[in-house]
Chains A and B, each alone.
Chain A
Amino acid sequence: MNDLIVAAYVFILAIFVGFEVISKVPSTLHTPLMSGANAIHGIVIVGAMLVAAALGGPLGTLLGFLAVVLGTANVVGGFVVTDRMLAMFKQRPTRKTE
């Protein structure tokens, strides 16, 4: 039960942090921000690793494997795609002189 209460505390506090951290985002950044947040929930990869071998057996192994595949795709794809989006916004050195 203790674990659960701790998790509940963390959950509630994280809600407040999540609300607070996003305030006043220029609409230009909506898409990259969504994509970045998308990569962050890829943390489910850690959960997938923890249960990958939990069941054993062909079906259990297959499901564990799939969970890791999906989680990794979420993490890697999410961060790389966000980086690519943001690369488009990089300040070009010539801009100041224009």
Chain B
Amino acid sequence: MTLESLIPLAYLVAAVTFILGLKGLSSPTTAVMGNRIAAAGMLVAVIATFFTQDVQGGVPVIVAGMLVGGVAGFAGARMVKMTAMPQMVALFNGAGGGAAALVSILEFSRELGAGRGTPPFGVTLPTLLALVIGAVSFSGSAIAFGKLQGIVTPRAFRYAGQQVVTGALVAAIGALALGLLVSSLGTATIDPMLLIVATTILALVFGVALVLPIGGADMPVVISLLNAYTGLAVAMAGFTLANQLLVVAGTLVGASGTILTRLMSKAMNRSLGNVLFGAFGAATAAGAAGPTGGDDGRTIRSIGPEDAAILLSYAQNVIVVPGYGLAVAQAQHSVRELADLLESKGINVKYAIHPVAGRMPGHMNVLLAEANVPYDKLYDMDQINPEFQRADVALVIGANDVTNPAARSNPSSPIYGMPILDVDKAQNVIVIKRSMKPGFAGIDNDLYLDPKTAMLFGDAKDAVGKVVQELKRAA
């Protein structure tokens, strides 16, 4: 038995670790282990690959590439702030998509270069799919990253003739692909390499055109979808290379990613089609209400930290509603301090976690866990919603769209039907917010005009810190 004959065996081991890893990641107690098992399997696969014939000539290039990519990936993953996690995932996902596209280009060129003309249909088809899906995932992820990072407008970017442009791109990609497939059947017409290059460019443009019109609030779903895309692209690259490990791993991610995407869009009460093509976030605030009032004469009440402290100290039950603003301001530790202080006064403090609070499902839990907030104080939307009417104060910190009563009452609102936290049912509502700017969905929040709502303007960390000081002084 030669060393090389062991390689498929190593790949089999890796494939099993990926399945076990995914399985492990879907339960809280086994998640850490699952991730590490999959990582170990990945290492086994990479080491085994070094022993294949194909790799021999390329070792210097590969090692150099691994050093650069490894350092970049490691540094990026270690240094990114917890709040920026979602866009980091988008970035890594885009990298995978780009790699899949490059692999299919290289393999295609190798086949061409061998002088056999366009590879047979069975190779050309998956190569094309890997190329197109990978390239779309690459540029789409880049735009998603830009939107979450604030480099690209987080608003849904729509333009006249958008449908036409998108449709034309799809048609053009389809035509080019058809040209290649025809030439794979033996009748070469145009230089196949030219077709590949043109397809790549169009697919990259299509990725941009696909994600640009989607509002920032929907980015988590989009990233999850692109993640599934990349998985599919990798599986297709596996077909091209006749490598079963790529097929298994890529397909696993493609399938599980699709399920995950559906779970996420369900948590937002939106169908996937609605996310991709709906007008969510496009119906942007026709008039972002000024800081003084809405259009129907109701006014916004603004209070200072000392009033907030008094309101809180007389409460029995307080529900904290954390949102992205808390994450951005890194206010989780201050919030913990506030909660501790209130609890020392015998006040009940609970946290209401909307499924998409933060930027992604579970994002808020991660942040609060970082600040040592006990896990059993965090309540899901379904558990906590009936309790709002018994709460004396609902303290909304940097959350917006997930508290907007319009989702319940206003059928013309773009977020109508989205499950929300029933914050408006609490006796008093304190909203800590930087300004009256609308949230990511780009719409106004009626909650702020409610007479029992008091706005405490300021950076979340700052404002919570001041409330803590006031509470301490009063004590």
Q: Which residues of A approach B to under 8 Å, CB–CB? A: 1, 3-4, 6-7, 10-11, 14-19, 21-56, 60-61, 63-90, 92, 95, 98
Contacts and interface: CB of A to CB of B under 8 A. Distances in A.
Nearest to A80: B77
A68 B363 CA distance: 30
28 contacts: A27-B355, A33-B22, A33-B31, A34-B223, A37-B22, A37-B25, A37-B260, A39-B39, A40-B252, A44-B103, A45-B42, A50-B241, A51-B54, A54-B107, A65-B61, A68-B64, A72-B68, A72-B73, A73-B76, A74-B69, A74-B73, A75-B46, A75-B73, A77-B88, A79-B39, A80-B73, A81-B77, A85-B85
Given A22-B256, A41-B249, A80-B74, A71 B96 contact: yes
Interface in B250-285: 250-257, 259-260, 263-264, 267
Contacts of B100: 44, 47
B453 interface: no
B58 interface: yes
B62 interface: yes
Nearest to A64: B61
Contacts of B439: none
Contacts of A61: 61
A35 B256 CA distance: 12
B31 A69 contact: no
A72 B77 CA distance: 13
A48 to B, nearest CB: 5
Interface of B: 14, 18-19, 21-23, 25-28, 31-32, 34-36, 38-39, 42, 45-46, 49-50, 52, 54-58, 61-62, 64-66, 68-70, 72-74, 76-78, 80, 82, 85-86, 88-89, 91-93, 95-96, 98-100, 102-103, 105-107, 109-110, 113, 122, 223-224, 227, 230-231, 233-235, 237-239, 241-257, 259-260, 263-264, 267, 355, 360-363, 365-367, 369-370, 372, 374-375, 380
A95 B374 contact: yes
Contacts of B18: 40, 43
A78 B167 CA distance: 33
A34 to B, nearest CB: 5
Q: Main SS of chain B's interface residues?
A: helix
B384 to A, nearest CB: 14
A71 B99 contact: yes
Contact of B28 (A22, A29, A72, A84): A29
Q: Main SS of chain A's interface residues?
A: helix
Contacts of A17: 19, 252, 255
A67 B65 contact: yes
B38 A26 contact: no
Shortest beta-carbon contacts, A-B, top 3:
A18-B255, A53-B58, A68-B65
B78 A80 contact: yes
Contacts of A48: 62, 65, 99, 102-103
A79 B18 CA distance: 12
